[in-house]
Amino acid sequence: MQLEKPESVYTNGEIKDLNGKVCIYYDGYWIRYYPPVEDTLKNKKRLIESLTRRTFHHTEPGINTPGENLDMAREAFNIESDPKRKRVNGAMLAGALFNRATDIFTLVVELAEKGVHISERNELMRECAECFKEALKLGKTVKHYSGEEGIDELWGEPFKAFTMPIDKFYESRYIKIAQTMRDIDAVANHMVKIFDSQEPFRGVGKLIRELAEAAKKEAETIRRDKVIFDIWPRFVAASEDLEEFEPKVPDVMSEDLRRHIADGLRLINEGKDVLTYLSGARVPMPRTTKQYMERCNYYAETGYAH
């Protein structure tokens, strides 16, 4: 939810009830608020496991390497010389490191539940931290599942959850969600500006706006919240409505006009995908966003996509 009042009226971290929805303010947006859980090892373990699953869900396939295969992944990375293949081997090694760190932390929590308390200086905890750090360093080799760019901000979240108090981690997430909402609005506004003013695409702006609003709501909502049963269907329906948009075309068209409309439809659907990527990852994707806007600008200037 974006504000109508100037940002200076509000303070980051301010919480208020907006029509029955408890929200927290960050950088121009009111975001659905979830109070942080108690900062215990067990809750931190659950948070790290959830973040690790989400990270692999939004990154390229084939890199979710089991932790027990860490040595094999490292050897393959070290001996590979082809740059493109080495990049993928680096992503697979990063996946193995993440899973090894999660395995170790799970063991630490299980021991704690049995009364065996392990200090942060213990060898297991040090190895866990080193695995997270190395995985984070290799995060630049990992791409979003679209293949368009790296997504190391998302990749770094399990490490943040390991090193930060839970309430501080929640705060960092709200900041990223606000940045994501800003980019969703920027992409949607650019799409409306480029396409809704053109006669063949007149009316598409309303569909773009609806998808953007649904995307922001999807980005702020966790899956275990019962409102997801309203939020997700709205998002999917808005996406389908935009995908099914039919331009207004004359009975007789020149080849240039036919190409212009076809290229415009393709760009609209690419924009739909960008909005989907942003709402799912819940972190900014600057390269994807910038390149998409540049393609739209080229289309506005030339009448064609490239």
pLDDT tens across 267-302, in order?
Answer: 999 999 999 999 999 999 999 999 999 999 999 999
| 176-195 average pLDDT score | 97
Verdict on whether the full-model pTM lies above 0.85: yes
The proportion of the chain whose per-residue pLDDT surpasses 70, expressed as a percent, equals 97
Residue 258 lies in a domain: yes
* H helices present in the chain, as ranges: 41-57, 70-79, 83-113, 123-137, 152-155, 157-163, 166-195, 204-220, 228-243, 255-281, 286-302
Give the end of a domain, one of 129, 163, 197. 163
pLDDT score for 117: 80
pLDDT score for 207: 98
129: containing domain: 41-163
Tell me the per-residue pLDDT of 237-276, one tens digit each, with 9 for 90 and over.
999 999 999 998 887 888 889 999 999 999 999 999 999 9
Residues 157 and 181 reside in one and the same domain: no
Residues 158 and 196 reside in one and the same domain: no
| 87-93 average pLDDT score | 96
Residues 95 and 123 reside in one and the same domain: yes
pLDDT score for 266: 95
pLDDT score for 5: 52
Residues 235 and 131 reside in one and the same domain: no
Residues 142 and 200 reside in one and the same domain: no
Lowest mean pLDDT among 1-15, 101-115, 243-257: 1-15
| 99-114 average pLDDT score | 89
- For residues 9 and 22, the answer to whether their CB atoms sit within 8 Å is no
Task: Work out how many domains the chain is built from and give that number.
Answer: 2
Tell me the per-residue pLDDT of 32-68, one tens digit each, with 9 for 90 and over.
999 999 999 889 989 998 988 998 999 999 999 999 9
Residues 143 and 69 reside in one and the same domain: yes
Residue 6 lies in a domain: no
Residue 124 lies in a domain: yes
Residues 153 and 204 reside in one and the same domain: no
| 215-240 average pLDDT score | 96
- For residues 33 and 15, the answer to whether their CB atoms sit within 8 Å is yes
Question: Alpha-carbon distance 48 to 138, whole Å?
Answer: 18
Q: Is the dihedral of CA 236, 270, 57, 225 positive or negative?
A: negative
Angle at 304 between CA 299 and CA 305, to 5 degrees: 70
pLDDT score for 151: 82
pLDDT score for 7: 54
Q: Is the pLDDT of residue 200 over 60?
A: yes
pLDDT score for 47: 92
Angle at 54 between CA 50 and CA 56, to 5 degrees: 120
Contacts within 8 Å (CB) and 24+ apart, 109-118 = 109/41, 109/42, 109/44, 109/45, 112/41, 112/42, 113/42
pLDDT score for 112: 83
Residues 179 and 286 reside in one and the same domain: yes
Rounded alpha-carbon distances, angstroms, from residue 150 to 56, 84, 154, 216, 287: 13, 14, 9, 22, 9
